[in-house]
Copies of this chain bind each other. A is one copy, B any other.
């Protein structure tokens, strides 16, 4: 089991750090479980007023840990289990958190990284950060609720280019698209994240929780995430397809896939 998610809490600010050394913090199954636990712990701690979400060593998160994929993705039941019992509960724990979440984004923010960033309320990014979800190269689609979440935060124009063209976007492009709250020079990002976290922590905490509940409620009324395919029993039927196997095996064998 590679990778961990670290949680530290200091002066009313929690920091959740994605760590998978040598893999640009790609999310292993273990890390999804860690992520869920970290947010359940934060949610239960009445002292926490802001959560910073970041990655270790200059990257936010480069996606899923593809080295694990051949072990569970080609069987429909285990693929469904991964998305619905590992990935989604972690994202849901983030969405359910009543404390403002602040994403600190540098380096790669791809696939799973886009999903984790999409759960955050405020996203500060370094100018050199890169964003995408080029899984069409790996031969598989984004799971329905995960796509709905990313689409809600990026807008339709960006998510379609990410999923249908495997496009990668610069931080400047993602700022223009409205996904990034504020864009910062690489060397200023860390200090601005701290300044912002301290500002959030100094504001009225009950008002923040009520505002988060209101925004969550209106997104639930709009229904895009909760309604998108969560009960779609065909969502993972592609598990054993030739295309899916070809995409992932070509990546692992470091060759171009043939679709």
Q: Mark each residue of chain A from 238 to 259: 1 if its CB lies under 8 Å from any CB of chain B, else 0.
A: 1001011001000000000101
Check B218 against A137 for contact (C-beta < 8 Å): no
Q: How far is the CA of A121 from the CA of B205 in the complex (A)?
A: 34
Q: Which of B159, B202, B223, B244 is close to A259, meaning CB atoms less than 8 Å apart?
A: B202
Q: Which of B121, B180, B228 is close to A164, meaning CB atoms less than 8 Å apart?
A: B121
Check A214 against B243 for contact (C-beta < 8 Å): no
Q: How far is the CA of A214 from the CA of B159 in the complex (A)?
A: 12
Q: Residue A21 at the B interface, CB < 8 A?
A: no
Q: Residue A142 at the B interface, CB < 8 A?
A: yes
Q: Which of A179-198 contact B (CB under 8 A)?
A: 179-181, 196
Chain A positions within 8 Å of B, measured between CB atoms, are 100, 121-123, 135-142, 144, 147-148, 151-153, 155-157, 159-161, 163-166, 176-181, 196, 199-200, 202-208, 210-212, 214-215, 217-218, 221-225, 227-229, 232, 235, 238, 241, 243-244, 247, 257, 259
Known: A121-B164, A136-B204, A204-B244. 11 other contacts (CB 8 A): A139-B206, A151-B215, A155-B178, A159-B215, A160-B215, A163-B208, A164-B211, A178-B178, A207-B247, A210-B238, A218-B225
* CB-based nearest B residue for A50: B164
Q: How far is the CA of A6 from the CA of B204 in the complex (A)?
A: 35
Write out the residue numbers on chain B whose beta carbons fall within 8 Å of the beta carbon of A155: 178
Write out the residue numbers on chain B whose beta carbons fall within 8 Å of the beta carbon of A144: 214, 217-218
Looking at A177, A208, A232, the one whose CB has the most chain B CB atoms below 10 A away is A208
Contact A207-B135, Cβ < 8 Å, known A165-B196, A166-B199: yes
Check A166 against B203 for contact (C-beta < 8 Å): yes
24 pairs from A and B in contact (CB 8 Å cutoff): A100-B160, A122-B161, A122-B164, A137-B204, A141-B208, A141-B214, A142-B211, A156-B215, A157-B181, A160-B181, A164-B200, A164-B208, A164-B212, A165-B196, A177-B178, A203-B259, A204-B259, A207-B247, A210-B238, A217-B232, A218-B228, A218-B229, A221-B223, A221-B224
Q: How far is the CB of A212 from chain B (nearest CB, A)?
A: 7
Check A218 against B207 for contact (C-beta < 8 Å): no
Helix, strand, loop or mixed for chain A's interface? helix
* CB-based nearest B residue for A148: B218
Q: How far is the CB of A210 from chain B (nearest CB, A)?
A: 4
Q: How far is the CA of A160 from the CA of B124 in the complex (A)?
A: 13
Q: How far is the CB of A259 from chain B (nearest CB, A)?
A: 5
Check B243 against A205 for contact (C-beta < 8 Å): yes
